[in-house]
Amino acid sequence: MDDTADLTQLDPRYKTMMRLVAAIFAAFLFVAASIAEMAIPGWTGIVWVPALLVILYVVIWLPMRRFAARGYSLAEERLRVVRGVLFRSDTVVPFGRVQHIDVDQGPLERAFQLATLTVHTAGSHNASVSLPGLAHEDAVAMREEIRAAIRRDTR
């Protein structure tokens, strides 16, 4: 389990959702940049050009990188969550250490039929490990799988 080859990718709709969230931020930035641009005499583009570059990075490039960096696996009765573009974190929670499981849907996630799966452990570090960007039915299926494993362990 060293490499990232056996990881499952998140739902592609998650990428779209991240773009949408970034676009909302970008819209604010664009408005602010436009105001600043109009305040400066002469249409120099001194604010617009960097602002547009930031917007392109945040809306197009970053969601792609983040999506590519994320992955999960449920092999060997362990939940493994890999994430992070700059700081890569690779977390493994054995099913036997899961205290309880949440499946959450925010308003945007509902619109995209996505869900966030969160498992809680008794540890102070990684007290909760969340995995966003799952198709809702997948998240529910994963919850059932983890729950079944817990019940089997506890007899």
Partner 1 sequence: MQPVQSPQRTDPRSFAVRAVMMLFQLVVPMGIAAVTIFDEGEFAGRIAYAVPFIVAIILFNVAVAYLQWTRLTYTVGEADIRVESGLLSRAARSVPYERIQDVSLEQKLLPRLFGLVEVKFETGAGGKEDLALTYLSEAEGERLRELVRERREGDAPAMADTVPAKAPPEAAPLFAMDGKRVLTFGLFEFSLAVVAVIGGLAQQFEFLLPFDLWDIDGWQERLAGPGQWLAGLGPLAQVVGIVMALASLSLIGFATGIVRTALREWDFRLDRTAKGLRRRRGLLTRTDLVMPVHRVQALRVETGFLRRLFGWHSLKVVSLASDSGAANHEAVPFGQMDEIAPVVAETGFALPPQDTGWMRAMDRYRFDKIVLAAIVLLPATIAAIFIADSVQWLIPAGVLGAAVVHNWWRWRHDRHAIDARQIYSLHGWFSPSLAIGSRVKLQSVEILQGPIARRRGYASLLLGLAGGNLRVHGMPVERAREWRAGILDSIGRTDFSELVEAQVDARAA
Which chain residues interact with partner 1 by CB under 8 A?
1-2, 76-78, 86-94, 96-99, 121-127, 129, 150, 153-154
DSSP letter for 58, please: I
Cα 44 from Cα 17, distance rounded (Å): 34
**Nearer Cβ to partner 1 (29/150):** 150
Min separation Cβ 87 and partner 1, Å: 5
Min separation Cβ 149 and partner 1, Å: 10
Please tell me the number of Cα atoms within 13 Å of 128 on its side-chain side.
10
Q: Are 71 and 8 spatial neighbours (Cβ–Cβ below 8 Å)?
A: yes
**Nearer Cβ to partner 1 (39/122):** 122
**Nearer Cβ to partner 1 (44/99):** 99
Query: Measuring CA to CA, how many Å separate 52 from each of 31, 56, 58, 142?
Result: 11, 6, 10, 40
**Nearer Cβ to partner 1 (6/76):** 76
Min separation Cβ 155 and partner 1, Å: 9
Edge-to-edge strand ranges of the sheet holding 98-104: 98-104, 114-121, 128-135
Min separation Cβ 150 and partner 1, Å: 8
